[in-house]
Structure 1
Amino acid sequence: MKKDKLQIEKRILHLSFWGSVLFIVAEGIMAWITHSHSLLTDCLFDAADLVMIGPFLVLVPLLYKPVTEKHPYGYAQVESLFLLVKYSALLALTCNLLVENVKLLLHGGHEVDAGDIAIFEFLVCLGCLFMYIVLNHYSKKYESTTIKAELYMWKLDIVSSIGVAVAFAVQMILLRTPLSFLTPFIDPAVAVVMAVLLIMEPVKVIFQSIKNLVLFAPDEEVVGKIREIVGSHMQDYPYEVTFLDVIQTGRKLWVEVYIGNQTDVIHISKLHRVRDEIRQELKHKYDQVYIEIIPD
């Protein structure tokens, strides 16, 4: 099972990697030809993301290694650390691009060939949509935190490409109106909007990765669902839950259920049975689950 998941994840990352290479080269060439800052922003953001995929292809097998005494949490935190580094770099790059394009706006903007960019971005949108459909097909068999991040990036590329295409189509219309004086501001304005939208996801992932690295409990919604599942199974046994300890790091989830008992007798076979029942249900919701039932 783990081998199948590893193969699926590696296949998705390889497809995403080579798809990104193709689009980055195309965007880089088009940005150089048209001198478009919005194309350059998109190209640099995708390039930074691509640089991070390469090392992670090497790290993926580590995430499937079993827990040992030397590594009690396995290598789960490697994924959280990787996402923290990746999105910190993307955040820094995006902030820099945002500042540069705001400066360009304040200095009067600049003209670009709106028609060529609009057609190019429409074609890019179709290409990104194709890649998203292919990757989403494979992800139905297995979807890790990293795969979700890759799918999000392709979805973002689809939305940003169509948005840029529409913006430059509007610029072509403005050229034939009294508002033609606004056209020099379209390209840097689009780049600023893209940068603002691109900032949101890195900030969110950075905070989540920090929580995972310092072994904080996951969101209250996750803890609540786990508490509900544990409680429903405990109803069939003579035990009550006194404390629930939940830790999530990367794709792995550790659950320690502390139980109380009205007598001094603990049936090990019953503890194993309820543990297996809870684990089986949690496996349908979370990727790699470790659960222990501990008498309080």
Structure 2
Amino acid sequence: MGPPAERQEQRLLLLSAAGTLALALVGIAIGLLSGAKSIVFDGIYSLADAGLTLAAFAAARLIARGADRKFQYGYWHIEPMLGLVNGSVLLLACAYALADGADAMLAGGREVSFGPGIGYAGASAIICLSIYFFVRRRSRGLGSSLLELDSRAWLFSGILNAGLSFAFLIAILLNGTRAEQLAMYFDPAILILLALGMAPLPVRSLLAAGREILQIAPADLDAHVSRIAREVAARHGFIEHQSYVTRVGRAQFVEIGFVGASASTAMTLGALDSIRQEVADAMGGLRPGYWLTIDFTADSQWI
């Protein structure tokens, strides 16, 4: 990802953080005025998300700096670390909302002024879905896991706010009917559903970040590199090969070892570099954040 792409990523993250912060503050204010804790929770969730998006912006700036003497492989490792923090904070928020909603349900519900909530949730759904499509369109080809995570959050918020608006509308329609008492349970019930509905997003972030922090080899990358190594070994007469891969954020680390038929096999440095280029081309070419190491030996213990 070159400098223009890096600037595009940073601009999108900053724009997303500003939009999230504005919606969060409006949501918290309307939720407090109407007494709807489901809206307050949505606002607090968005506020936490805005803070984490700003952290993602800072991380993107560090990644754009590239390697230095202290971090000689660059700052790619910040991406999964940020994903771990992001997932943990938002999952804790969901757990608190779930507990608060369950407590209110057991206490007989609570009175809420649903009118303002409908307007906020409906407008918020439209804004969230619009930003989702905008970020997805502008981030195509950037390969940014930070923007991927951010766009999913906008989509999820849009869908949930649409559901929130619909639920508030039903609660208003219940007024003056025999089922009017049920409206008392709508806010805590929606709060529980929001918590349960939003929980999968941070859980997925935690699982993805955990795999990268533990450096678990991605199955797709491992299979792709193994196939390339096998084909190159067959083409050039190597009797054995071994490959190792890992992914950290958007950075990929690939190491391949080839074993020659005998210690007397002679190949020039140019020929070996040609094989390296062959592998690199099959992998899509060398690019920032892509580390490719290829070893040649006559003794399999070195691979």
TM-score computed with the length of structure 1 as normaliser: 0.90
Greater Cα shift, 265-274 or 205-214 = 265-274
Kindly provide the CA deviation profile for residues 170-215 of structure 1, in whole angstroms up to 9, marking residues without a partner as x: 2223335432221111111111111112221212222322332233
Q: Does 1:291 align with 2:292?
A: yes
Secondary structure of the 1:76 match is coil
Secondary structure of the 2:74 match is coil
The share of aligned pairs that are identical, in percent, is: 20
Letter in 2 for 1:34: S
1:23 aligned partner: 23
RMSD: 2.4
Kindly provide the CA deviation profile for residues 203-261 of structure 1, in whole angstroms up to 9, marking residues without a partner as x: 2222322332233322x233223323444455433335522100111110101112222
Kindly provide the CA deviation profile for residues 252-282 of structure 1, in whole angstroms up to 9, marking residues without a partner as x: 0101112222243344334433433433443
Q: Answer yes or no: is the 8 Å Cα contact 1:251–1:287 preserved in 2.
A: no
Greater Cα shift, 49-58 or 130-139 = 49-58
Residues 25 and 155 of structure 1: CA distance in aligned 2, closer, same or farther (over 3 Å): same
Give aligned pairs, total: 295
Q: Answer yes or no: is the 8 Å Cα contact 1:37–1:191 preserved in 2.
A: yes
Secondary structure of the 2:143 match is coil
Mapping for residues 71-90 of structure 1, pairs under 5 Å: 71-90=71-90
Q: Which runs of 5+ in 2 are unaligned?
A: 297-302
Moved >6 Å (runs of 4+):
none
Q: Does 1:226 align with 2:220?
A: no
Cα distance in 1 between the residues matched to 2:122 and 2:167: 11
Cα distance in 2 between the residues matched to 1:171 and 1:188: 12
Letter in 1 for 2:154: W
1:144 aligned partner: 144
Residues 243 and 36 of structure 1: CA distance in aligned 2, closer, same or farther (over 3 Å): same
Residues 229 and 190 of structure 1: CA distance in aligned 2, closer, same or farther (over 3 Å): farther
Q: Answer yes or no: is the 8 Å Cα contact 1:135–1:151 preserved in 2.
A: yes
Greater Cα shift, 97-106 or 198-207 = 198-207
Kindly provide the CA deviation profile for residues 1-48 of structure 1, in whole angstroms up to 9, marking residues without a partner as x: 521121011111111011112211221121111111110111111111
Secondary structure of the 2:252 match is strand
Residues 140 and 184 of structure 1: CA distance in aligned 2, closer, same or farther (over 3 Å): same
Greater Cα shift, 51-60 or 73-82 = 51-60
Secondary structure of the 1:245 match is strand
Q: Does 1:169 align with 2:169?
A: yes
Letter in 1 for 2:252: L
2:274 aligned partner: 273
Mapping for residues 88-103 of structure 1, pairs under 5 Å: 88-103=88-103
2:122 aligned partner: 122
Q: Answer yes or no: is the 8 Å Cα contact 1:241–1:257 preserved in 2.
A: no
1:40 aligned partner: 40
Letter in 1 for 2:256: V
Greater Cα shift, 15-24 or 241-250 = 241-250
Residues 123 and 272 of structure 1: CA distance in aligned 2, closer, same or farther (over 3 Å): same
Report which of the two structures shows the higher radius of gyration computed on alpha carbons: 2
Cα distance in 2 between the residues matched to 1:68 and 1:271: 29
Q: Which runs of 5+ in 1 are unaligned?
A: none
Q: Answer yes or no: is the 8 Å Cα contact 2:143–2:250 preserved in 1.
A: no
Q: Answer yes or no: is the 8 Å Cα contact 2:121–2:164 preserved in 1.
A: yes
Residues 63 and 191 of structure 1: CA distance in aligned 2, closer, same or farther (over 3 Å): same
Cα distance in 1 between the residues matched to 2:91 and 2:34: 26
1:181 aligned partner: 181
Cα distance in 2 between the residues matched to 1:84 and 1:173: 42
Cα distance in 1 between the residues matched to 2:239 and 2:62: 37
Q: Answer yes or no: is the 8 Å Cα contact 1:144–1:287 preserved in 2.
A: no
Kindly provide the CA deviation profile for residues 65-119 of structure 1, in whole angstroms up to 9, marking residues without a partner as x: 4445643432111222122122211111221121111111111111222333223
Kindly provide the CA deviation profile for residues 49-70 of structure 1, in whole angstroms up to 9, marking residues without a partner as x: 1112223323322213444564
Residues 166 and 277 of structure 1: CA distance in aligned 2, closer, same or farther (over 3 Å): farther
Letter in 1 for 2:199: I
Letter in 1 for 2:215: L
Cα distance in 1 between the residues matched to 2:239 and 2:254: 16
Q: Does 1:246 align with 2:269?
A: no
